[in-house]
Structure 1
Amino acid sequence: MSAGAARQGAAQALGAPALAMGATFLAFGAAVAEAGLSLGWALICTGAVYGMAGQLVLLQVAAGGGAALPATIAATAANARFLPMAVAIAPLLGRAGRRWWALPFIAITPWAAGMRVLPTLPEPARLPWFLGFALASWYVALLTTAAGHLAAPHLPAELRAALLFANPLYFCLLLAADARRPGVGPALLAGVLAAPLAYGLGGAWGLPLAGLVGGTLAFLWGRWR
């Protein structure tokens, strides 16, 4: 069952999720090349950070000649949203001793797919399915980062900017499809209302703080209802 579930997860990752995520990482690879940083830097950043908000913050600091420690702190803050995501999906991944394998791969695309699919699977198949999906997604991220870095001279700046929004748009469409599920609608509305806060604060802390405010409002609304 485990091998079959892992293959099933990988197969599902290599469809629409791979196209959406690949477009975003293609643009990231091109942006790294434009900043004058190496292909190795791009691959290490994608493989280790594996979160576009944190990667873009790290790229901005590195391209400006910033120090390593502030850059690492900024990237960590930008990806702080992965902590509540990990807490939410952890109960679906089985025993605590085994689900630690999934934590390095908690990112928007695997998380969104896991939250939709894992409750429908028998418990022994859940972690293998998630690891199959997540590893396939991770390899797609690495390959498209490399492709973007190599193809940078042929990608106009406007196209790169548009490609960066492909994966967030895909994620938004998934959420919109689940808007009628309990708690999803208020969370979407709270996120929209908190978006100006992220824009106003900017920097590494804008996104996690806006998420904290929006998520808290959605939680309080659900408790009140």
Structure 2
Amino acid sequence: MARGAGWQGFGQALGAPALAMGATFLAFGAAVAEAGLSLPWALLCTGAVYGMAGQLVLLQVAATGGAALPATIAATAANARFLPMAVAIAPLLGRRAPRWLALPFIAITPWAAGMRALPGLAESARLPWFLGFALASWCAAMAATAAGHGLAPNLPVELRAALLFANPLYFALLLAADSARPGVAPALLAGVLAAPLAWWVGGAWGLPAAGLVGGTLAFLWTRRR
């Protein structure tokens, strides 16, 4: 059952989720090439950071010759949203030590798919399914980064900017489809209300600040109701 669940998750990731991730990472690979950085740098950044906000922070610092330590701190802050995501999905992955294998793959697309699919699976099949889905997503991100780096001269700046929003848009559509589930609608509304805060704070701390405020508002709203 476990092996079958893993292949099932792998296959399900190769549809719309892989296309959404691929579009975003294609744009990232092209941006790295335009900044004059190498393909190995792009692949290392995608494979190790695996979060577009943190990757863009690192790219900006690397392209301008910034220091490594501040860049690492900024990228960590930009990807701080993965911590509550990991806490939320952890109970669905079982109580045994192998669930720690899922940690490197906590990202928007695998997390959103896991939160929808895992409750309907047998407990023994949940971790294999998630690892299969996450591994396919990670491979799609790596392949798209390499393709974007090679196709950079053929991708206009406007197209790259649009492609960067493909994966967040896919995530937003998943949330909209689940808006009837408890807690989802308040989270969506609170996120919209808190979004201007990300613009106002700016930099690496804008997104975590907006997420903290919006998430707190959604939690308090749901708890009160």
Q: 2:164, 2:86 → 1: CA distance?
A: 24
Identity %, equivalent residues: 84
- In the alignment, what sits opposite 1:45? 45
Shift in Å, 1:98 = 1.3
- In the alignment, what sits opposite 2:145? 145
- In the alignment, what sits opposite 2:125? 125
Q: 2:33, 2:99 → 1: CA distance?
A: 36
Tell me the alpha carbon deviations over residues 180-214 of structure 1, each in whole angstroms, 9 at most, x when there is no partner: 11100000000000000001111000001100000
Any idea what SS the aligned residue of 2:66 has? coil
Any idea what SS the aligned residue of 1:151 has? helix
- In the alignment, what sits opposite 1:80? 80
Do residues 98 (structure 1) and 123 (structure 2) align? no
Letter paired with 1:63: A
Tell me the alpha carbon deviations over residues 127-170 of structure 1, each in whole angstroms, 9 at most, x when there is no partner: 00000000000000000000000000000000000000000000
Letter paired with 2:45: C
What is the root-mean-square deviation in Å for CA atoms of aligned residues? 0.5
Q: 1:178, 1:96 → 2: CA distance?
A: 29
Q: 2:95, 2:127 → 1: CA distance?
A: 9
Q: 1:38, 1:2 → 2: CA distance?
A: 39
Shift in Å, 1:223 = 1.1
Letter paired with 1:106: I
- In the alignment, what sits opposite 1:60? 60
- In the alignment, what sits opposite 1:213? 213
- In the alignment, what sits opposite 2:164? 164
Letter paired with 2:60: Q
| Runs of 4+ residues over 4 Å off in structure 1 | none
Letter paired with 2:96: A
Any idea what SS the aligned residue of 2:204 has? coil
Residues 180 and 163 of structure 1, relative CA distance in 2, 3 Å threshold: same
Q: 1:185, 1:129 → 2: CA distance?
A: 27
Do residues 7 (structure 1) and 35 (structure 2) align? no
Q: 1:172, 1:77 → 2: CA distance?
A: 22
Letter paired with 1:161: A
When normalised by structure 2's length, the TM-score is 0.99
When normalised by structure 1's length, the TM-score is 0.99
How many residue pairs get aligned? The number is 225
Any idea what SS the aligned residue of 1:77 has? helix
Any idea what SS the aligned residue of 1:205 has? helix
